[in-house]
Structure 1
């Protein structure tokens, strides 16, 4: 996923279907410098992680 689209998704009030390794995730914030995003699985908000943007897929 590109940086601009990830930032757009993280700012939207409605959910957008995004996955990381096949798992639906919520994008909390995007770091343009490192090209990463802070995400968590939709049903496990306590499992936050930082992942490369190129590992995220919009469906």
Structure 2
């Protein structure tokens, strides 16, 4: 995924499914200067981490 798409997903009114290594995640924020996103596991909001935006995959 690219930075622009990650920012669009955050701003979207509807839920857009995103996965990290095949696991559903929610994008909390994006840092364009570092090309990273803070995400958390959908089923466990306490499980948050910062990952490269390129590791995220939109589920279509």
TM-score where L is the length of structure 1: 0.94
The aligned counterpart of 2:32 is 32
CA RMSD of aligned residues (A): 0.7
Which 5+ residue runs of structure 1 have no aligned equivalent? none
Say how many residue pairs are matched: 59
Structure 2 Cα separation of the partners of residues 13 and 28 of structure 1? 14
The aligned counterpart of 2:49 is 49
- Kindly report structure 1 stretches of 4+ aligned residues shifted beyond 2 Å: none
More strand by share: 2
Structure 2 SS opposite 1:46: strand
